[in-house]
Structure 1
Amino acid sequence: MNKATTSRRRARRAGGVLSRPSRFLVPWVFGLALSLTACVGAVRVAAPLVIVNVTRIMSSQAGGTAIRQAGSIRVARLAGDLTATALDAYLTRKGGQEADWTLVVTRGTGAATTSEVFAIAFERKVYVRTHGQTLQSFEPSKRTVTITAETGDTSIAILDTDQEPVRAEGSFQLLRFSGTTDFDFDSGKRSGGGKDSDIHLAWKASPLIARNGAQWAKVSDDPTLGDCTTVKPGDWKGDVDSVWPYGDYCFLSSEGRFGKMHYELKGFSYKLWETAKTSS
């Protein structure tokens, strides 16, 4: 019996890793590494005085427009697919006497330009950010705001502050054999599973999956709160990248708060911002 045959038999007795198709090898190795590493406790910080209210307008070519409300900023869609001429006529009819903000989102160029119109029920200064663009601020005296967005899938965030208050931050490990396979970002606690956990270490092709409505989006580098609030709708997932899961992520916790996570072989580090819980 040669050494290769002996190695394969030993691997099968240890858990069958090498007997699975090659596409499952990488995540299983990641999961095994996580199971054997030591835990690092999460670090909590004092509750900040500021809670960021953020409502997102999420548009996709396949699914239309969806509004994710959070906190005191309430947004309603008034009209869509308006040409430049139709938009001028609509705004003239609408007038400017309402107390709400009017947000005009334009896409395309020239004759192909179309617009959507939204009402924003909010009495103070607002901050608007679209995917891939810098944050813009608008004073209450300017009740009609026009911004340009991408023609494809995009997300627009409307916030009441440009601050990024931190609710909690720290690091942790998930251990497969010790009853600590889950982590809840909102409470900063590990567990063996439950209705409040956000991330779960699983025996499957994707070793890390979201739970209880939490969502993940892999990003290219260390994200800000603004980056995470404007993740495109199609980029949110229910599990991490099974081919190469290491890297930086934005996440939306099961309670609707935004955060960021860095994942590497030695474990996880994260930051949870103090944002209002998403209600719809």
Structure 2
Amino acid sequence: MASPNRIGFPLTPRRSPRALVLRDLSPEEAGAAIDWSGWYLPDDAERPDKVGRSEVVRLLLSVIAQLARERGWADLYAGTGHFFAWVRSEPFVRVLPDLYVLDHRPLPPIPRQWQTWLSGHRPPRFALEVVAGDWRRMYEDAPAKYWQLGCPELLLFDPEAAAARAPLAEERVPLQLYRRDADGTYLRVHGSGDPVWIEALDAHLVVLKDGPHPTLRVARSSRATDLVPAEEEALRAEGEARALEQRARVAEQRARAAAEARVRELEARVRDLEARVTRR
């Protein structure tokens, strides 16, 4: 029996929402209230500064846009800075992915918070969380939250683990991918620094360490050499290709003009010789 509280009413046993993911509930727990308070994310919540987060997100959004352009995915949408809530009675039980992908481009205006119990509000097809702060808690809580949200794929990117010259804690790895199985189980299908295939993108994500902080890029294959350029890189390459083509065209026109001038010069000499012969 539950212990009484100070005003004489029995306390309702409360269970953690994490228990919904990690183990089956006993009959007693199944009827208990859920204590969601540990998962509240208020508007003014302080999020730990994430090493190179803004650059990781900016670059990856640009690369995904270029990938969609290459493949003609006009309806795919990748965004950042929006909450996702899934418990109607607990609107502050939510996540704020660093980057997310939707199968269908939403009509503007995009809500600051997606609420999956509303029509047209769906969980993301893919979500990225950049690990910072209390990494142990993030490693433990994030999969449980995104499983309950209904997100099919979650990638945890740990920049500190990716940048470390020597191994950190044994559990820390640059990339962890969780994927919802056919029976609804959330499984960790990848846990290393190697390229990882993302179903939602039909491409691989790879860790690059070229700059001051590790970043993520999209590769068309598991080889990190076949990278999809960012939009600005693609536009620059297209501009350089057009400039090269223009220079080649100008050079060809000049060569043709020079050849034609040479032909005209030879023809004029021939006519001059013919005229001299006729006068004799």
* TM-score of the pair, normalised by structure 2: 0.26
Q: Which has the higher helix share?
A: 2
| Larger relative contact order (Cα-Cα within 8 Å, sequence gap ≥ 6) | 1
- Structure number with larger C-alpha Rg: 2
* TM-score of the pair, normalised by structure 1: 0.26
